[in-house]
């Protein structure tokens, strides 16, 4: 029994259940942990960024060289096939008999060259809200909505075998305002998330994400954040056979499930769905040491006597032959948003693995300053460093938001907001116009009915008068006929 449980835990790829806010940007990694060498290999195969076309042209040249050396060609094919993964989503339009289909519409039967051409075409004419691939083959779902809910998996097919690298179940919720706690203990809130469900053999506990990097350097106003949320899991001490023979058998596929997920059993949803998430914020200070200063590199070697000597001195910005060049700095994504009052927006920032900070009109903003300015949490920063705007007002017009990398202040993304007035006014006008049109329709209908009824009454009155006259004439005519006889 224990051997079977150990085998399942070691061999089975656990499914990760994720709950995300509508309109947020979601990033699903395909690979759990990549070494720097593996990251380089994945980038060479899949990286669809500004230098993507140049890299693919270089790969075509390499293929020509490999064609001449057959041994090199075989090694190259093995290395390429090692990262030949695809993203798929399960479609359940026909009920439970769902099928897996490609998310980014790349046919897995195509060759690497054909996939490259397809990716280049999609990169050139991509739309803002379409799924796309990241630097290390992560799936990016921008401005996620309910149509994006469901099962996703990153797989590699070898003959008839499917190797699953990662699999996810995505839930999208409309609104969830967390509780923000700054520089205080969260133990009482975490204990409140603990529940035992003995009849279902399940329990809920607080699950805390790792702390983010410090949002700013060389300042005491830097902040690190983490999210604390309620998650449901199998109670300790419950064997897999007991769960497998119960209605909760699907829980074996997950290590834990968010309490706001649609996978939560109906019997306990009213208890778990009402639990509020927590954004835990603490101030931090780090020196600005991560920004690398360009220095002259000294290349050392040994002479014929085995002594260390200086072979070369490479000035800043210069590199050796066959040395991998550093990646180009990504282009800053600048977005202009035309919005209406009371609209809701979620502003996402890339490179979440690094510390980042937000600025409003080029002025640093933090969770502390936002909570002091907006106690109702109209605008706040979540644990994923996303700027959440629950609703816009006319005061937000011409606002300029930007997110920056913490250790050097480089701009990563900007948002220019133009807030137009009158969404509620427009709705009221539409309702008034509808009421006027409806009232006019009723008035015309009443007039038509009144005229119809009046004509009908007059017609009936005339018919009765004619009938009475005819009857009177008959009555007066009968005595005259009798007297003449």
Distance from C-alpha of 395 to C-alpha of 448, rounded to nearest angstrom:
51
Phi, psi at 336, each rounded to 5°: -105, 125
pLDDT at site 242: 82
Helical segments of 27-178, H only: 36-46, 52-68, 70-82, 112-124
- Residue 390 · residue 344 · CB < 8 Å: yes
pLDDT at site 413: 92
pLDDT at site 426: 65
Domain spans in the chain, listed from the N-terminal domain onward: 10-174, 175-287, 333-423, 440-485
pLDDT at site 303: 82
pLDDT at site 226: 93
Q: Do domains 10-174 and 333-423 have the same CATH topology?
A: yes
Which residues are within 8 A (CB) of 245 and not within 5 positions of it... i.e. 6 or more apart?
Answer: none
For Cα atoms 375, 379, 384, give the angle at the middle one, nearest 5 degrees: 115
Phi, psi at 258, each rounded to 5°: -60, 145
Q: How far is CA 410 from CA 295, 354, 407, 436, in A?
A: 20, 12, 8, 55
The CATH architecture of the domain made up of 10-174 is: Sandwich (2.60)
Q: What is the dihedral of CA 43, 48, 54, 60, to 10 degrees?
A: 70
Helical segments of 310-420, H only: 367-373
Q: What is the pLDDT along the chain (485 residues), one digit of tens a residue?
A: 455 445 445 445 678 999 999 988 898 988 877 777 777 777 766 655 445 555 555 556 555 555 555 544 444 444 445 677 889 898 665 555 568 888 876 555 555 555 556 666 655 555 667 888 887 888 889 889 888 898 999 988 888 888 888 999 999 998 888 999 999 999 999 999 999 998 888 999 999 999 998 988 888 889 999 999 999 999 988 887 788 878 888 888 888 999 999 999 999 999 999 899 999 999 999 888 755 566 788 888 888 888 888 888 888 878 777 777 776 777 888 999 888 888 889 999 877 667 889 999 989 999 999 999 999 999 999 988 899 999 888 888 889 999 998 887 889 999 999 888 765 566 677 778 888 888 888 888 888 877 777 767 677 677 777 777 776 777 676 555 545 54
pLDDT at site 76: 47
Pick the CATH number of 333-423 from 2.60.120.620, 2.60.40.10, 3.30.1330.10, 3.30.70.1380: 2.60.40.10
Stated pTM of the model: 0.71
């Amino acid at each position: 029994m224990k051997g079977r449980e150990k085998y399942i835990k070691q061999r089975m790829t656990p499914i990760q259940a994720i709950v995300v806010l509508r309109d947020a940007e979601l990033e699903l990694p395909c690979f759990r942990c990549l070494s720097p060498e593996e990251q380089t290999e994945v980038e060479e195969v899949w990286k669809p960024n500004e230098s993507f076309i140049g890299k693919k042209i270089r790969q075509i040249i390499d293929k020509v060289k490999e064609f001449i050396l057959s041994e090199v060609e075989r090694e190259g094919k093995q290395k390429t096939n090692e990262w030949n993964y695809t993203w798929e989503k399960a479609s359940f339009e026909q009920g439970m008999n769902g099928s897996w289909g490609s998310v980014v519409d790349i046919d897995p039967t195509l060759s690497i060259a054909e996939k490259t051409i397809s990716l280049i075409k999609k990169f050139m004419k991509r739309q803002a809200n379409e799924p796309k691939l990241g630097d290390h083959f992560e799936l990016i779902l921008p401005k996620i909505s309910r149509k994006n809910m469901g099962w996703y998996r990153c797989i590699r097919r070898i003959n008839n075998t499917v190797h699953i690298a990662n699999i996810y179940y995505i839930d999208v919720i409309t609104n969830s305002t967390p509780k923000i706690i700054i520089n205080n203990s969260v133990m009482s809130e975490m204990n409140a998330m603990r529940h035992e469900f003995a009849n279902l053999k399940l329990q809920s506990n607080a699950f805390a994400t790792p702390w983010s990097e410090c949002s700013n350097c060389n300042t005491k106003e830097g902040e690190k954040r983490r999210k604390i949320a309620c998650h449901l899991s199998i109670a300790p001490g419950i064997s897999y056979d007991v769960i497998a023979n119960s209605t909760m058998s699907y829980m074996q596929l997950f290590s834990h499930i968010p309490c706001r997920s649609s996978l939560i059993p109906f019997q306990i949803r009213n208890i778990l769905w009402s639990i509020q998430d927590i954004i835990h914020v603490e101030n931090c200070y780090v020196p600005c040491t991560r920004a690398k200063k360009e220095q002259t590199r000294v290349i050392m070697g040994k002479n014929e006597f085995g002594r260390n000597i200086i072979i070369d001195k490479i000035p800043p910005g210069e590199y050796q032959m066959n040395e991998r060049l550093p990646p180009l700095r990504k282009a800053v994504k600048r977005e202009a948003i035309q919005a209406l009052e009371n609209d809701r927006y979620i502003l996402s920032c890339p490179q979440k693995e690094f510390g980042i900070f937000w600025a409003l009109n080029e002025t640093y903003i933090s969770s502390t300053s936002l909570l002091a300015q907006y106690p109702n949490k109209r605008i706040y920063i979540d644990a994923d460093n996303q700027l959440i705007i629950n609703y816009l007002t006319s005061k937000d017009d011409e606002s300029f938001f930007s997110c920056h990398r913490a250790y050097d202040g480089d701009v990563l993304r900007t948002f220019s907001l133009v807030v137009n007035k009158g969404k509620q006014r427009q709705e009221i006008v539409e309702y008034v116009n509808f009421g006027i049109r409806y009232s006019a329709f009723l008035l015309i209908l009443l007039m038509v009915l009144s005229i119809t009824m009046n004509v009908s009454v007059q017609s009936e009155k005339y018919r009765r008068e004619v009938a009475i006259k005819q009857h009177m004439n008959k009555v007066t005519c009968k005595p005259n006929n009798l007297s003449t006889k």
